[in-house]
Amino acid sequence: MGLLTIGAFAAASRLSPKALRLYDELGLLSPARVDPVTGYRLYSPDQLERARLVAWLRRLGMPLARIKAVCVLPPPAAAREVASFWAQVEADTAARRDLVTFLIEQLSGKEPAMSAATKPLQIRYAALSDAGLVRESNQDTAYAGSRLLAVADGFGAAGAFASAAAVEVLKRLDTDRIPAGDLLNVLQEAAEQASQAVRGVAAAEPEPDQSGTTLTGMLWTGSQLALIHIGDSRAYLLRAGELFQITHDHTLVQSMVDDGRLRPEEATTHPQRALLLRALTGTADSSPDTRLHDAQADDRYLLCSDGLSAVVPADRIHQVIATVPDPEHAVRELVALANRSGGPDNISCVVADVIDSAG
């Protein structure tokens, strides 16, 4: 069989000609030949297997950059990558299901009930913040308490005050038990107050829009937690040995990865990797993401600033989180790893283990 026109190849692969042109531009699925006179794209029948894989992965909702990475892996490694992606999808779906349940109960006037199978949980935690080896001061703030975990990474002239102000607002929630039905509303109110606090701090600076902070926090009650997130500090979940990033970076580079314009491995060295699209600042009216999440006994959570995640490879972070049992030792080892990698930025880590309160 000879080369196929883009129309014939689209029909055989169940990809539209428009999609094929985009995948060619992205280097994901280039034609076997381009006619030098007409510019028509021609494809080899041997490319159908890869095209169908791309189509299947797109039906799963996998981002184009990740599909590109999967397509060049050996089959066993590709299978593991697909499994990892789907685990993340299921975790996100579970979080959305929790939110739907919450909204239904709220709108119907019902008080959220704890099922007989749900056991109250508590956390064992540790927090550590370090200036690193290059910066003269530490603009990060890290906090861990019985109901609240938080990391904020300040920037600009008032960065240290901004991160401290944002976390101080959240710390007010660490004292009283909050009913599950109020958890998300309480956190959203706190997010607004944190934004106001940062604006108040930055207003004293000549350029208030140049000062601000990221903010990633978790508020606990019973077996649920509410997550608040803005910027590029991160929250990770270790469950059943697998480590998942459960926040999404609000950065220019991450948006380029999401759009398929940049490969994930290129993002780590991109010159604009630290450029934030969203953060709490002195002037911008950006609201953090908030959502509910169900916790399970034996889960482990890591919150960190990019002084860790941008410097230490994900597999090394995974190794520490999975093998160092004590949270206090874990945060110390993570900070030490970042410093052994040059410590170019402030480093903040919070590690929390979920345990059965009856155990």
- The residue among 146, 126, 196, 171 whose CA lies nearest residue 348 is 126
Instruction: State residue 298's pLDDT score.
Output: 92
106 pLDDT more than 70: no
186 and 327, same structural domain? yes
User: Could you tell me which residues are beta bridge partners of residue 281?
Assistant: 212
116 pLDDT more than 50: no
Residue 174 burial (CB < 10 Å; 0-12/13-18/19+)?
A: middle
325 and 179, same structural domain? yes
Instruction: State residue 115's pLDDT score.
Output: 43
How far is residue 204's CA from residue 186's CA, in Å, rounded to a whole number? 28
pLDDT band at 91; cut points 50, 70, 90 = low
What is the average pLDDT value for the chain, to the nearest integer? 86
Q: Identify the CATH number of the domain in which residue 44 sits.
A: 1.10.1660.10
Greater pLDDT, 217 or 179: 217
At which of 59, 85, 105 does a domain end? Answer: 59
Q: H or E stretch including 354?
A: strand 347-356
Tell me what the mean pLDDT of segment 266-288 comes to: 81
* Residue 102 lies inside a defined structural domain of this protein: no
pLDDT band at 39; cut points 50, 70, 90 = confident
pLDDT band at 96; cut points 50, 70, 90 = low
Q: H or E stretch including 134?
A: none
- 326: domain range? 121-356
- The residue among 57, 111, 119 whose CA lies nearest residue 82 is 57
322 and 230, same structural domain? yes
319 and 195, same structural domain? yes
Q: Number of C-alpha atoms within 13 angstroms, CB side, residue 35?
A: 10
How far is residue 111's CA from residue 82's CA, in Å, rounded to a whole number? 38
Task: Give the tokens for residue 23.
Answer: 């995948």
- In eight-state DSSP terms, residue 29 is S
* Residue 113 lies inside a defined structural domain of this protein: no
Tell me what the mean pLDDT of segment 66-90 comes to: 83
* Residue 249 lies inside a defined structural domain of this protein: yes
Q: Contact 345/132 with Cβ under 8 angstroms? A: yes
CA 147 remoteness from chain centre: 21
How far is residue 293's CA from residue 304's CA, in Å, rounded to a whole number? 18
List, in sequence order, every beta strand (DSSP E) within 222-323. Answer: 224-230, 234-239, 242-245, 280-281, 289-294, 300-304
167 and 49, same structural domain? no
Greater pLDDT, 279 or 273: 279
Tell me what the mean pLDDT of segment 40-49 comes to: 91
126 and 259, same structural domain? yes
* Residue 293 lies inside a defined structural domain of this protein: yes
69 pLDDT more than 90: no
User: What is the DSSP annotation of 199-237?
Assistant: HHHHTTSSSGGG-EE-EEEEEEETTEEEEEEESS-EEEE
Greater pLDDT, 95 or 295: 295
Q: Contact 183/112 with Cβ under 8 angstroms? A: no
* Residue 83 lies inside a defined structural domain of this protein: no
* Residue 312 lies inside a defined structural domain of this protein: yes
41 and 126, same structural domain? no
235 and 308, same structural domain? yes
147 and 36, same structural domain? no
User: How far lies 145's CA from each of 10, 124, 148, 333, in Å?
Assistant: 56, 9, 5, 20
User: Could you tell me which residues are beta bridge partners of residue 41?
Assistant: 34
pTM value is 0.70
* Residue 229 lies inside a defined structural domain of this protein: yes
Q: Contact 226/290 with Cβ under 8 angstroms? A: yes
**Torsion, CA 109, CA 147, CA 230, CA 66, rounded to 10:** -90
Q: Identify the CATH number of the domain in which residue 223 sits.
A: 3.60.40.10
244 and 162, same structural domain? yes
Greater pLDDT, 47 or 127: 127
Q: Contact 6/41 with Cβ under 8 angstroms? A: yes
299 and 152, same structural domain? yes
- The residue among 310, 335, 182 whose CA lies nearest residue 245 is 310
* Residue 184 lies inside a defined structural domain of this protein: yes
Instruction: State residue 95's pLDDT score.
Output: 58
How far is residue 167's CA from residue 146's CA, in Å, rounded to a whole number? 15
pLDDT band at 99; cut points 50, 70, 90 = low
Q: Identify residue 123 by its one-letter amino acid code.
A: I
194 and 45, same structural domain? no
The count of structural domains within the chain is 2
107 pLDDT more than 80: no
Q: Max Cα separation, the chain? A: 75
Tell me what the mean pLDDT of segment 147-158 comes to: 95
- Which residues, including other chains, have CB under 8 Å from residue 197's CB and lie 6 or more apart? 165, 166, 168, 169
Greater pLDDT, 292 or 94: 292
Q: Contact 186/174 with Cβ under 8 angstroms? A: no
How far is residue 118's CA from residue 357's CA, in Å, rounded to a whole number? 12
Instruction: State residue 113's pLDDT score.
Output: 47
Task: Give the tokens for residue 62.
Answer: 């996998």
